[in-house]
Amino acid sequence: MELIHKYFPGLSPEQKDQLSALGNLYINWNTKINLISRKDIPHLYERHILHSISIAKYFPFPGSSKIMDVGTGGGFPGIPLAIMFPGSEFTLVDSIGKKIKVVNDIITTIQLRTAGPFIQELNK
């Protein structure tokens, strides 16, 4: 989280709490379902979360933006971006139901709110 605070010092308390909670959630879920490489777990904040939100430094989505993350897998970059832009509507799409289950659990656990539908599973 230190890297996140370094590059994004103006986060709200809610954003900080939500981003902080992601570490334990992904560590827990990754033991059950291979979401990211086990070698990457110690570098989760640098290699996944910071990389996901890095666009926010250069392109702040307007408040009413609608963004689709196709092939979201474990929720990257969609979940971290939805935390960064709570006024935008994010739709995360993946064809693998077990990954959608993980994403939905993470969203519920961190109480992530959006303006519209969040998760869709593509039917094969």
Residue-wise pLDDT for 57-89, tens only, equals 999 888 789 999 999 989 999 999 999 999 898
Distance CA 117, CA 51 (A): 24
**Encoded tokens for 54:** 């890095």
CA distances from 46 to 5, 19, 60, 67 (A): 12, 12, 20, 23
Q: What pLDDT score was predicted for residue 40?
A: 81
CA distances from 69 to 24, 33, 51, 66, 75 (A): 23, 20, 15, 10, 8
Is residue 31 pLDDT above 70, yes or no? yes
Q: Where are the domains of the chain?
A: 2-121
Q: What pLDDT score was predicted for residue 110?
A: 94
Half-sphere exposure of 17 (CA within 13 A, CB side): 8
User: 39: exposed, middle or buried (C-beta count within 10 Å: 0-12, 13-18, 19+)?
Assistant: exposed
Reduce the DSSP state of residue 33 to 3 states and report it.
Answer: coil
Across the range 2-18, mean pLDDT stands at 95
Q: What pLDDT score was predicted for residue 79?
A: 95
pTM here?
0.90
- Does CATH place domain 2-121 in 3.40.50.150? yes
What's the chain's average pLDDT?
88
Q: What pLDDT score was predicted for residue 122?
A: 59
Give me the residue label for tokens 């291979």: 34
Q: What pLDDT score was predicted for residue 64?
A: 83
